[in-house]
Amino acid sequence: MAIIAIVSFLKSIFFENDPAVKEGINAMLAKGEDYRNKIALDGMDTSKFKDNIDIKLVMKMLTWIGEGYSIQLSGEGEIDYDALSKKMNECLDLLKNSFYKEEYI
């Protein structure tokens, strides 16, 4: 279950409060956001989206959903990754139904 270790590590970085490393982590996360957006948006088939949809805003919403859910999980101790995956898929289905053209739903 390497994925669990990776997610636990990323969670620990996201919630690190030690002032000795916090500034460096924030700088890394800022660079990572640009990199993540490049990976997510470059080459994306945007033809499935309705014509009036701002794709960059959708990607920002997905980030906010992920970050918000991470914050919620941070105080819950052991994480149920199956439940997390199910809930995230429900969110993605909702967005897909709202933003995709009818023929791609």
Q: pLDDT tens per residue, the chain (105 residues)?
A: 555 666 667 677 777 888 888 888 888 877 777 777 777 777 888 899 999 999 889 888 888 887 777 777 666 667 777 887 888 889 889 999 999 999 999
**What span, in angstroms and rounded, lies between the C-alpha atoms of 27 and 36?**
14
The single-letter code of the amino acid at 28 is M
With 0-12 / 13-18 / 19 or more C-beta atoms within 10 angstroms meaning exposed / middle / buried, residue 5 is exposed
* Residue 47 region by backbone torsions, left for phi larger than 0, else alpha for psi between -120 and 50, else beta: alpha
3-state secondary structure of 1: coil
